[in-house]
Each structure stands twice: as C-alpha cells, then as structure tokens.
Amino acid sequence: MSERWIADRMHLIDASGIRKVFDLAASMKDPINLSIGQPHFDTPTPIKEALFSAVLTGKNAYSQTQGIAPLLQKLQAQVDTEFQHSDRKVFVTSGTSGGLMLALLALVNPGDEVITFDPYFVMYKHLTTVAGGKIVPISTYPDFRLDVSKVRAAITPRTKVILCNSPCNPTGYVASESELRALAELAAEHDIALISDEIYRAFCYDGPFVSPATFNPQTIVIDGFSKSHSMTGWRLGWMHGPEKIMQQMIKLQQFSFVCAPHPVQWAGLSALDVDISLSVADYHRKRDYLIGELSPLYEIAPAGGAFYLFLKAPYGTGTEFVTEAIRHDLLMIPGNVFSSQDTHFRISYATDDRTLERGADVLKQLAKRV
C-alpha cells in the first residue's frame, strides 16, 4: 500500500481519545470506569421485545429512507405538539452521529466556518473537517455559559452553521432560556443555520428542557434514543427542521446510510411509550452525590444535565491528572479530547453506585495528594 492512497482529510482527524480509554479499560482487571458516555442501565424490556418481534415477523429488509411510517407519524405528532411550526418535518437517521454527518455534509461547503462552543463533543470538529469546513470554537470557560456576544464577534462572511449542544457533553451544562433565545435570534438575524444537538434533552435536573427551535423555526434539531433509552448500539436517531433542508439530508442518506436499521425502528416506536423517569431520577441522584463528595476539593461549574461533570484538575494539566488517576485504576477522559485547553477532565456518572463511590474516594485522595 502506498501512503499516497490516503486522502489528505484523514491526516486532519485524530484517533478518538475516548476510544483509547475504552481499549485501556478492556485490558484492566477491575478498573473504576468513569469514562464511558453511555447509560449503565440495560435497554428496557419492552423495547427489546419489540425488536425481537420485528425480526421474527420479517421486518428485516430496507425501510423507506426517511423511516417507517408509524414511527414517523408518532415523532411528527410529538414535534408538532411541542413546536407548532408549519414547516417542521421529521425523518429517521442512523443514530444522532449519522444525523450530524448528514446535516454538515448538506450545509457546509469547503472553507465554510462552523461556530461551536468549547468544550465540545469530539465529533463536531472531525465531521466538520470531513465536510471541508473549519471549526470556530467559542470558549465557555470557566463556567461554560453561552456568551452570545462572543458568537456575534466571531461571525464572518464564511460562517455557515452554529452548532449548539444543551445539555452538553462533556460539561453537563444546560443553557438558560435567555442564552438559547439570544443564540436563536442571532442565527436568524444573520441567516446562519443553527443546529441543536438535543440527544441529552431527557436529562435535565434543575429545570425544564428548552430548545432554541422554540425561538427560531429554522433551527435544525438532532435527537435520538441512544442516551434516553440505553440504545447506544442500536443506532437510531431522528432529525427535524425545515422541510426543504430535511429533503436534502434524506437524499444524502439514500446514498450513504440508506436507512436506519429497519427492525430497530420498530423498537424505537415502542420506546416512545416507555417511561424513563426513574432512570433520569437515578442520574439526578448520582449527580448530587458526586457534587456533594467532590465540591470541597474540586472546582465544579454548573452541571444541570446529561450525566457528566467536567472538573478542573487540582494540579498539573488535565492529561497529567488523568494519567495519575489511571495509576490508581481510575479511568476518566482528559479535557483536551473535547477542547483546545488541557485544564479539565470529564467523568461520567452513568455507572453503578459502587463504582461511583470507589471513583469518588480515589478523586478525593488524588486531590489531597494522599
């Protein structure tokens, strides 16, 4: 194989630091794993039964590219009730990551700029690169709030997309209604596409979820079942937004993912009727436990949602601190995986109580340099 076979874009994409930690966890005997960004509870039984039934009754061929009619109808009714926009259409994607890729490929020309907030979910930078665009990060340190004046100052003639994620991975920050309203109105004022990644919307602990689509009907929303229903491996998401834009993404899906996994779509239809409130309450409790244990020793910014805390390393860089934690069998993600800074680290509290307690003990010992 010749090195010249490899496309230039691949040299702009690093291997995921998160995946490296996953691989490390697989090689350790009894790690304290606070790195994994997925629910620790199993997929609810009614959803698994719906999948089995779909497979057994022959729903194994391709579906329509945009998704099966019953799921589309139920999602569309849900979206219409919430937003009441006359031009907001739904289609089903192969995971939220698939939806994000479709959105960026459909919107971003080579050289276009995509504004997002630093720290950001790792895929934002790399999928923008694949689309030929350039990420323009807006720092949210130290409290992770959205300063819309910084966004306004960053807008150039090449700005094509603003990408927002609330509740946020990796920080757990939930943007306020006023922040999201200002962001939505700014995007509308400058005719910039606003993408709202709402995969963690079910996990809001200190107040109701707010979508920027409430204030800007042109907002493109990405959502899915992975986090709320513990279906990360099932690859089922959905998007909604202006019909003309959705049609372009459906066209692209036809020639890429083809469709979301057909039997999984029937499971998703069942998932819409599953009560997840107990799981949400459990993560709320775990969030409160960790903050109570760690706040005397760590700088903790507001983290009202998702299932992450993004903590400032008490000494050294984020990478150095995570390296020290690994020596104590504690796995976390260094902040530079998500950010231009290397000052913080991410922990996930999507785990059982014993692991959480062990992790809190190690973190307290490390902060005291015991």
Per-residue pLDDT reduced to its tens digit, 21-36: 656 666 767 899 999 8
pTM: predicted TM-score of the whole model, two decimal places: 0.94
Instruction: Among 253, 271, 289, give the residue marking a domain's end.
Output: 271
Backbone angles phi, psi at 31, to 5 degrees: -70, 155
pLDDT tens column, 123-133:
999 999 999 99
Would you state the pLDDT for residue 241?
Answer: 98
Do 239 and 129 have their domain in common?
yes
In this structure, are strands 134-139 and 330-331 parallel, antiparallel, or unpaired?
unpaired
Cβ-based neighbours of 233, under 8 Å, separated by 6 or more? none
Q: Give the three-class secondary structure for 326.
A: helix
Per-residue pLDDT, averaged over 6-23, amounts to: 70
Cα–Cα dist 342/280, whole Å: 30
Would you state the pLDDT for residue 12?
Answer: 79
State the CATH number of the domain containing residue 206.
3.40.640.10
Is residue 51 within 8 Å of residue 230, measured between CB atoms?
Answer: no
Per-residue pLDDT, averaged over 288-294, amounts to: 97
Do 289 and 180 have their domain in common?
no
Would you state the pLDDT for residue 22?
Answer: 57
Is residue 314 within 8 Å of residue 92, measured between CB atoms?
Answer: no
Per-residue pLDDT, averaged over 65-88, amounts to: 97
Cα–Cα dist 345/339, whole Å: 10
Is residue 104 within 8 Å of residue 114, measured between CB atoms?
Answer: yes
Question: What percentage of the chain carries pLDDT values higher than 70?
Answer: 95
Per-residue pLDDT, averaged over 181-187, amounts to: 98
Per-residue pLDDT, averaged over 27-46, amounts to: 90
**3-state secondary structure string across 98-151:** HHHHHHHHHHCCCCCEEEEEECCCHHHHHHHHHCCCEEEEEECCCCCCCCHHHH
pLDDT tens column, 199-254:
999 999 999 999 999 999 999 999 999 999 999 999 999 999 999 999 999 999 99
Per-residue pLDDT, averaged over 96-122, amounts to: 97
Instruction: Among 215, 244, 271, give the residue marking a domain's end.
Output: 271
Is pLDDT of 16 > 60? no
Which of 200-211 are b and which e, b meaning 16 or more Cβ less than 10 Å from the residue's Cβ?
bbbbbbeeeebb
Instruction: Among 271, 304, 325, give the residue marking a domain's end.
Output: 271
Is residue 58 within 8 Å of residue 274, measured between CB atoms?
Answer: no
Do 239 and 265 have their domain in common?
yes
Do 288 and 363 have their domain in common?
yes
Do 71 and 177 have their domain in common?
yes
Higher-confidence residue of 12 and 171: namely 171
Would you state the pLDDT for residue 20?
Answer: 63
Do 297 and 324 have their domain in common?
yes
Which of 26-64 are b and which e, b meaning 16 or more Cβ less than 10 Å from the residue's Cβ?
eeeeebbbbbbbebbeebbeebeebbeebeeeebeeebe
